[in-house]
């Protein structure tokens, strides 16, 4: 089959990584899958025109029911003879955490779910919430966690990474580096911990926080740059390749998540796979994968973040436990092979 795949493709974001991985799964079954950025299309008519090109697309997939799926509905004012192809959708965290709160968006998402052959939720909780907020299409919604594969760069210099991130001094090897990996946009809330972390750094200069990720929201990026510059012990690093980022994770004291909402954080799962402790904000998307003091540590305030992080640094038994359990959890629940098989079966439903 020739398939069109619509997703939000800001470089080096979780959405982009997930889309590339799913496309590889589909193409490994012998299909042709053309990945396009949903942001490049202003209307469903533009997508319909693309689908009808010669040779035409025979099916489609979209990540995010609203951002991507709405573009597969065709013109709402045009009768049903408007050309449409069978399609499936993958829920994004924004769908359930944000977009369902807006009546107009929710109505569109209900239409997408109604017409889709299948929908994929990353967790049972996400599926349950979709069934509550949207017209019940339970039989269409399949739960398939993200598959995870990590590959750390072999030629990686930790001290050079720290220097390029703005960290200086003679004792960089003694530092406890907390790595906050996120695209710079408000929903990731990288400013949430800065004041509390700076106070901790003043008490213990060996702890530092490095924020690293693509600059997605230019206005917000300027705000983060300005505040991080005047926050002691906080550094804003340039984004790195996936392999370099994984190598940096391995050397870190912990992977930090401070998001307001998440679908399923790939960075958290990658850290677990790399045997790095996770310290994550206590929100539904994170608690679906992080069990407090079992597979990671959760916090509900900046002050609690500091407390659990301090404990992580001194409690070797706790660290070993969450690392071992996190690695085991990823191996058991986020198999790349299982994900590949699941998407190949789902694509067969588009015939």
Asked if 140 and 131 count as a contact pair (C-beta separation under 8 A), the reply is no
The four Cα atoms 205, 244, 266, 329 give a dihedral, to 10 degrees, of: -80
> Residue 83 has what pLDDT?
52
Asked if 243 and 269 count as a contact pair (C-beta separation under 8 A), the reply is no
Single pTM value for the model: 0.86
Q: Whose CA is closest to 269, among 334, 211, 201?
A: 334
| For the chain, counts of helices (H) and of strands (E) | 14, 12
One pLDDT digit (tens) per residue for the chain, 351 residues: 999 999 988 766 777 889 999 999 999 999 999 999 999 999 999 999 999 888 999 999 999 999 999 999 975 334 444 457 999 999 988 888 888 889 999 999 999 999 999 999 998 888 888 888 887 677 899 999 999 989 998 889 999 999 999 998 767 889 999 999 999 999 999 999 999 999 999 999 999 999 999 998 999 999 999 999 999 999 999 989 889 999 999 999 999 999 998 888 999 999 999 999 999 999 988 998 999 999 999 999 999 999 999 999 999 999 999 999 999 999 999 999 999 999 999 999 998
Q: List the chain domain ranges.
A: 2-147+335-348, 158-333
Do 2-147+335-348 and 158-333 fold alike per CATH?
yes
Task: Please give the CATH superfamily to which domain 158-333 belongs.
Answer: Glycogen Phosphorylase B; (3.40.50.2000)
Q: Whose CA is closest to 116, among 58, 36, 47, 62?
A: 62
> Residue 12 has what pLDDT?
63
> Residue 170 has what pLDDT?
67
> Residue 75 has what pLDDT?
54
**What's the topology of domain 2-147+335-348?**
Rossmann fold (3.40.50)
> Residue 192 has what pLDDT?
98
Bridge partners of 90, per DSSP, are 63, 120
Asked if 109 and 81 count as a contact pair (C-beta separation under 8 A), the reply is no
**Cα–Cα distance measured from residue 33 to residue 54, given in angstroms and rounded to the nearest whole number:** 15
Asked if 110 and 134 count as a contact pair (C-beta separation under 8 A), the reply is yes
**Cα–Cα distance measured from residue 261 to residue 266, given in angstroms and rounded to the nearest whole number:** 13
Bridge partners of 34, per DSSP, are 4
- State the sign of the Cα–Cα–Cα–Cα dihedral 34, 218, 264, 90: negative
């Amino acid at each position: 089959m020739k398939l069109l795949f619509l997703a939000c493709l800001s470089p080096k974001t979780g959405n982009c990584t997930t889309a590339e991985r799913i496309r590889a799964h589909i193409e490994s079954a012998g299909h042709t899958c053309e990945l396009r950025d949903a942001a490049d299309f202003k209307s469903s008519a533009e997508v319909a025109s693309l689908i009808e090109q010669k040779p035409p697309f025979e099916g489609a997939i979209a990540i995010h029911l609203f951002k991507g799926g709405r573009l597969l509905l065709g013109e709402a004012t045009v009768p049903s003879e408007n050309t449409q192809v069978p399609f499936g959708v993958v829920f994004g965290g924004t769908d359930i955490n944000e977009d369902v709160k807006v009546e107009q968006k929710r109505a569109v998402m209900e239409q997408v779910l109604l017409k889709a052959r299948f929908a994929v939720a990353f967790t049972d909780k996400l599926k349950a919430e979709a069934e509550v907020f949207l017209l019940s299409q339970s039989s269409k919604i399949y739960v398939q966690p993200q598959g995870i594969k990590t590959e750390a760069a072999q030629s990686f210099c930790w001290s050079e990474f720290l220097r390029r991130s703005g960290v200086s001094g003679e004792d960089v090897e003694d530092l406890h580096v907390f790595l906050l990996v996120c695209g710079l946009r408000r929903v990731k809330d990288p400013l949430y911990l800065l004041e509390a972390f700076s106070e901790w750094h003043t008490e213990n200069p060996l702890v530092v926080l490095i924020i690293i990720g693509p600059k997605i929201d230019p206005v917000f990026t300027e705000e983060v740059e300005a505040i991080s510059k005047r926050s002691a012990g906080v550094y804003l690093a340039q984004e790195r390749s996936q392999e370099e980022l994984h190598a940096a994770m391995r050397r870190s004291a912990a992977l930090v998540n401070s998001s307001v909402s998440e679908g399923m954080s790939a960075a958290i799962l990658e850290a677990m796979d790399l045997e790095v402790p996770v310290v994550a904000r206590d929100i539904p998307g994170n608690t679906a994968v992080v069990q407090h003091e079992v597979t990671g540590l959760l916090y509900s305030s900046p002050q609690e973040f500091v407390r659990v992080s301090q404990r992580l640094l001194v409690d070797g038994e706790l660290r070993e436990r969450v690392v071992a359990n996190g690695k085991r959890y990823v191996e058991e629940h986020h198999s790349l092979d299982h994900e590949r098989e699941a998407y190949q079966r789902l694509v067969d439903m588009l015939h």
